Amino acid sequence: MINTKNLIKVFRTDEVETTALNNVNLEINKGEFVAIMGPSGCGKSTLLNIIGLLDNPSEGELHFNGYQVENYTERQRTNLRKENIGFVFQSFNLIDELTVFENVELPLLYMKVSGAERKRRVNEALERMNIAHRAKHFPQQLSGGQQQRVAIARAVISNPKLILADEPTGNLDSANGEEVMNLLTQLNEEGTTIIMVTHSPSDADRSHRIIQLFDGHIVTENMRQKL
């Protein structure tokens, strides 16, 4: 599903040049649950953002379902992202001015889904994430765990084939983190491919494979021993 060839990402500011990714070669199959680990600053978020088409590599190739993304127009890339990829972030990234319902509804507005259908799908997603009772609240009125469940509802509302999660439990206590991991695991069992950055060994235990990054390149890839 995802293939990268010699991905390089260099960030340049006036004074410094940082090589965030240095020759990353990666293959991720449909249905996999992959964890990306490694010390702070090693390039995990940069890699996830490039795979998620939120950023471009400086050099190298990204292939999505066999097609090289660099050959796409900006509009094609945006469509590819909005139709196929759901994002979950450490800091939830909900829009404070919108209610829970409206936050989750946003991707469907983009897709021009009709009003009645939007209502049905949003309510279904909120129920699934055990947060339907908060539909009319604003993000700031919710606990961190509740906000992350709303963010997951928003990520899955368009039925994406791929979910990218950047430290999804990083701001949560262990009980809420566990609930978020249960939801992600369930989505994966239903066929959604998941790539998750995490610092938590117990979160990584949910994955099929752990990719270790160090200084912008992959140092090890371990298939987890299946019991």
Nearer to ligand ADP, 147 or 198 (CB): 198
- DSSP characters for 63-82? EETTEEGGGS-HHHHHHHHH
Query: What is the Cα–Cα distance from 37 to 116, expressed in whole angstroms?
Result: 42
Nearer to Mg ion, 46 or 192 (CB): 46
* Partner from Mg ion, ligand ADP, none binding residue 214, C-beta < 5-8 Å depending on class: none
- Quickly list H helices, 113-206: 115-128, 144-156, 174-189, 201-204
Q: Which residues bind ligand ADP (CB under 6 A)?
A: 11, 13, 18, 20, 38, 40-46
- Given strand 217-223, what is the order of strands in its sheet? 85-89, 162-166, 193-197, 33-37, 209-214, 217-223
Minimum distance, C-beta of residue 20 to ligand ADP, in the bound complex (Å): 3
Q: Which residues bind Mg ion (CB under 5 A)?
A: 44-45
* Partner from Mg ion, ligand ADP, none binding residue 11, C-beta < 5-8 Å depending on class: ligand ADP
Nearer to Mg ion, 137 or 199 (CB): 199
Nearer to ligand ADP, 44 or 134 (CB): 44
CB 148 within 8 Å of CB 176: yes
* Partner from ligand ADP, Mg ion, none binding residue 40, C-beta < 5-8 Å depending on class: ligand ADP
- Angle, in degrees to the nearest 10, between helices 100-110 and 115-128: 130
Minimum distance, C-beta of residue 197 to Mg ion, in the bound complex (Å): 6
Minimum distance, C-beta of residue 214 to ligand ADP, in the bound complex (Å): 10
Minimum distance, C-beta of residue 75 to ligand ADP, in the bound complex (Å): 24
Nearer to ligand ADP, 42 or 125 (CB): 42
* Partner from Mg ion, ligand ADP, none binding residue 46, C-beta < 5-8 Å depending on class: ligand ADP
- Smallest CA-to-CA distance from 3 within 158, 157, 162 is with 162
Minimum distance, C-beta of residue 20 to Mg ion, in the bound complex (Å): 10
* Cβ neighbours, 10 Å, residue 215: 14
Query: What is the Cα–Cα distance from 178 to 5, expressed in whole angstroms?
Result: 34
